[in-house]
Amino acid sequence: MSLIIFSSSLCCFLSNPMSMGLLLLIYSFLISFMIGKVMVSSWFCIVLVLVMIGGLLVIFMYVSSISSNESFNLNLLFLLGLILIFLFFFEDFLLENQSFDLMKMMSDLNLSESFSLVKLYNGSCFILTFFLIIYLIFCMVVVSSIVKHFSGPLRSFNYEQIFI
């Protein structure tokens, strides 16, 4: 838990959008790892990571088309400090795996058994799930039609001028 708090407070010190995206990716992996320790099935963690990676790919596409070619410089002392802080926060997990006692206690409560996948598709929830699927397909078609046009949200590149 302290590693997640540390990684979220680290965002204040980053100025490059690519490094913020990398931090967001690391943050989503940590959250999905902790959720995977608590829940009995790991399907929610896999879906969470896939959605975050898909969103980060879209953000990477926008940022790379809008921003200039900034250099990604890392200070060696800053990187060494990050590694030491990471080892300090992750010390219990690396040595004896005691940092997840809270997670084991929460999994003993069997909170995840009350929400099963069968309840998602039963009765009145089926209609809501069906409309959610239709809405997501509609959004996918609209976004793909917007991006397909040359006057879409992404900057169009003139490749002929680049290679001359």
pTM: 0.48
How far apart (Å, rounded) are the C-alpha atoms in residues 47 and 39? 13
What are the pLDDT tens digits along the chain (164 aa)? Answer: 666 666 666 666 677 777 777 777 878 887 787 777 777 777 778 888 888 888 888 887 777 777 766 666 666 776 677 677 666 666 655 555 544 555 555 555 454 555 556 666 666 677 777 888 888 888 888 877 777 655 555 555 555 555 55
Domain ranges for the chain: 2-109, 116-164
Nearest to 155 by CA among 68, 69, 62: 62
How far apart (Å, rounded) are the C-alpha atoms in residues 161 and 164? 5
The pair of three-digit structure tokens given for residue 43, joined into one six-digit string: 């399907």
Q: How far is CA 61 from the centre of its chain?
A: 15
How far apart (Å, rounded) are the C-alpha atoms in residues 108 and 62? 43
- Residue 7 has a CB neighbour count (10 Å cut-off) of 19
